[in-house]
Structure 1
Amino acid sequence: MIRSSGQFSAPSLLVIAVTLLLLTSASFYLLKPSAFSSFTLVASLVLWPCSLLWLFYSHKLRNLQQAAAKQQQLITAIYKQLELNAAPEKTEVRQLTEISQRISHLLKRDQEVRHLVRVQGLIDHELEVGNRVFFESKLQHYLNDQAESAYGALYLVQVHQSPSEAASIRQLQRLRGCIDILHGIAAAYTDTVLARLSDNDLVLLVAGLAADDMAKLGDRMAVLLSRASCFADCQDQDVLHIGYAAYQRGQASYQLLSEADMALKTAQLQGQNSAYGVVNQQDKAVARGSVWWRSELSKALQEQRFVLSFQPVMSWQDKDILQHEVLIRLHSSDGAKVPAAVFLPMAHNCGLVGLIDQHVLLKAAKLCAVDSRHYSRCSINISVSSLLDTQWWQWLEQMLLSGQIDPAQLALEVTEHQVLKHYKAAKAVLLKLHKAGFSLIVDQVGLLLDNAGYVDELPLESVKLHPSVVRNIDQHLEQQLFVRGLIAGYANKGVRVLATGVELEQEWLTLQKLGIAGGQGFYFSQPLNQIITHGQLQ
């Protein structure tokens, strides 16, 4: 081996010397065997491989020493970057352990800071629920968005306190106890919003709650909350009152809050821990029971009365179509066009949502397969309950094996609420879907303020903002801060953030400045009756 300076190393010189000795000995032995000692030949034959081994291991040792020196230099540089104390007496194992601990600490702190930035302007930090700004944006969405249920209920819960306990730790503990119980109650419903409206007022919105169930829920809430352990030390048994009001789409938010407040005052007059509500008569179609809905939805599946429409998702960078979201409407037997927000909760109650998901998925797959070279991909909303159904999975596997569904042409969307609610069970099936070739999207992000730890564990392609986050975002710094924090948190994970419900140019311009990857809504296009190709949307 030759050094970089052109000189021979000591092991190399030894090998050269031994080789010359061996060649010389062999030559003398061949020319004059009698004059050559056999001992010399044997010694040469033994020394030559030994010197080769010495050369090999010396070279290997030198490489290891160089690698160790480089590793130590790297450790020293990392120590300097992480602002650690690189004492010379520390072993490499200890140094690496300290580096690992420091990196874990920094990652945890980074996640906490990003989450804080994400929700800073929308959270009540004392109770760790949404604040009034958060609630009002969600309320406006549910009262005006055509994609949501056209009706529901708003519950106003007022927790009493004596003047001596104003802003006390004990009062906060009672409010936190009520929040925990309300979280448990809300978990039984698909779409809910829970927030703190003022110092002692909590608010719960339940979308899609029928008029017949409002009073039952109000009475149940009053019983469960008044018997909570957080009120065990109260001398006065009258600890709270509940006022509730039904809402219809298009209703003004101030009117609904005023009705709930009047109902709260009436509940206070009725006695301790009482609930009172204002319930308006709902439309006949809304008030129909589960028996009618089961019959109607079953017939609709048989008669192919579910109609698909397609809303383009636009990229602001390419100014072209990223994909189409598949929307579904029901042509009811009486000729009405019923949106998914109305019939899907009924389908869940009747156990028919899995069949509807199958119908939509197969129909969309056939449409996408017509000319996959020109049509952009479709994304389809799938219920997590379908994914957790064994028979549903067997059906999907058969469709994949038969080639009737091509996962490369489809992305599957699941709502953040359902992912968080069923995460332990849903994680495995979502990973299985990704392995099968489907792209994964989490929808309705921002409706909840929970820390979305699933992003670190699921191979997501995109997340989609809830329309309530997008609505008038140019006028609300709190919502801009939320979106900016969300995008920053997902940037290093390769997850793009998309906006839904974009209706105004100023909303879209603001979202672009925040770094959004794409958006969909009436600003770009109404839902279309067919998939369109790139460049068709003007």
Structure 2
Amino acid sequence: QPLFMITSGDIVQHEVLIRIRQQPHGLLAARYFINQDFNNHQAFELDKAVLLQVKKLILAEPSALTVSVNLHISNWFNEQFWSWFITNMKDFTTKRKLQFEISEADFIKYQAQLAGAFEKLTALQSLLVIDNVQNVEHINQIASQKLVSGIKLGYPLVHNVDEKTQQQKQVKNIVAQSKLLNIPVYAVGVETQKELLMLAKLGVVAAQGFYFSEPLQEYTHATFY
């Protein structure tokens, strides 16, 4: 799904979104079938398949755009995963074709354990986006990690933000603090023009969601087993 600059409409990056087709429910988002009980082997195989598909697409359609991938939390601590990644994907990080996302909750909870993975990303010249940010509380802590190139507001802050003054206040505080630290703020799950206009007014610089585009078709033609 593309992330668009609010002022210009330019695409900043693509985020890879995983969906699984399950009858009779149709396509389900990752959060409904990948949970903390997903074992390490399954997580490794899934993220490996996703990254190989991303690599295939980048090679087939060269572009200056970055593709952003949100790994399963267990792979951040999995030496087998990073060994595989360095062997198979190194060129895409050094050319800034690929970056990673991690939720604010996981970033804060596992910060000490993530040090090894962050060292590898630094060596690979890769970047990090903090996803699902809920309030201003941890912004300084997030900014202390030099890999961070942006933050994404959580959907609960974005949904109906044009109607909720408390959400507007929270977004404004996050944007103000992030601006001081030179970190851009993005919004996810934007569904209406009113939400977009309010987010722009509050200083959010880019956004993604069904208001702009459903996931692009060329990123959906893959089947994983």
CA shift in 2, pair 1:457/1:335, >3 Å = closer
Task: State the partner residue of 2:44.
Answer: 354
CA shift in 2, pair 1:405/1:367, >3 Å = farther
Separation in 2 of the partners of 1:377 and 1:454?
A: 21
Match of 1:467 among 150, 155, 160: 155
Separation in 1 of the partners of 2:25 and 2:158?
A: 33
Deviation by residue 1:130-151 (Cα, 9 ceiling, x = unmatched): xxxxxxxxxxxxxxxxxxxxxx
Separation in 2 of the partners of 1:450 and 1:382?
A: 24
Match of 1:425 among 113, 124, 128: 113
Match of 2:182 among 479, 494, 514: 494
Q: Does 1:389 align with 2:70?
A: no
Unaligned runs of 5+ in 1: 1-310, 532-538
Deviation by residue 1:147-171 (Cα, 9 ceiling, x = unmatched): xxxxxxxxxxxxxxxxxxxxxxxxx
CA shift in 2, pair 1:355/1:505, >3 Å = same
Deviation by residue 1:41-78 (Cα, 9 ceiling, x = unmatched): xxxxxxxxxxxxxxxxxxxxxxxxxxxxxxxxxxxxxx
Separation in 2 of the partners of 1:525 and 1:462?
A: 21
3-state SS in 2 of match to 1:413: strand
Separation in 2 of the partners of 1:460 and 1:526?
A: 26
3-state SS in 1 of match to 2:18: strand
Q: Does 1:519 align with 2:210?
A: no
3-state SS in 2 of match to 1:378: strand
Separation in 2 of the partners of 1:320 and 1:422?
A: 34
3-state SS in 2 of match to 1:411: strand
Please give the residue correspondences for 1:404-443 in structure 2 after superposition, counting only pairs within 5 Å: 408-443=96-131
Letter in 2 for 1:329: R
TM-score (norm 2): 0.87
CA contact (8 A) 1:365 1:406 kept: no
Match of 2:5 among 286, 298, 315: 315
TM-score (norm 1): 0.38
CA shift in 2, pair 1:331/1:491, >3 Å = same
Q: CA deviation at 1:493?
A: 2.2
3-state SS in 1 of match to 2:112: helix
Letter in 1 for 2:155: P
Q: Does 1:480 align with 2:168?
A: yes
Structure whose CA Rg is larger: 1
Task: State the partner residue of 1:343.
Answer: 33
Task: State the partner residue of 2:15.
Answer: 325
* Aligned residues: CA RMSD: 2.4
CA contact (8 A) 1:365 1:405 kept: no
Q: Runs in 1 of length 4+ with deviation above 6 angstroms?
A: none
Match of 2:69 among 368, 380, 389: 380
Q: CA deviation at 1:491?
A: 1.1
Unaligned runs of 5+ in 2: 220-225
CA shift in 2, pair 1:410/1:420, >3 Å = same
Letter in 2 for 1:344: I
Separation in 1 of the partners of 2:218 and 2:76?
A: 27
Separation in 1 of the partners of 2:84 and 2:11?
A: 31
Task: State the partner residue of 2:132.
Answer: 444
Letter in 2 for 1:498: Y
Match of 2:142 among 428, 435, 454: 454
CA contact (8 A) 2:131 2:152 kept: yes
Tell me: higher relative CO, structure 1 or 2? Use CA pairs within 8 A at least 6 residues apart: 2
CA contact (8 A) 1:498 1:517 kept: yes
Deviation by residue 1:319-361 (Cα, 9 ceiling, x = unmatched): 1111111111224588953331122117624741122111111
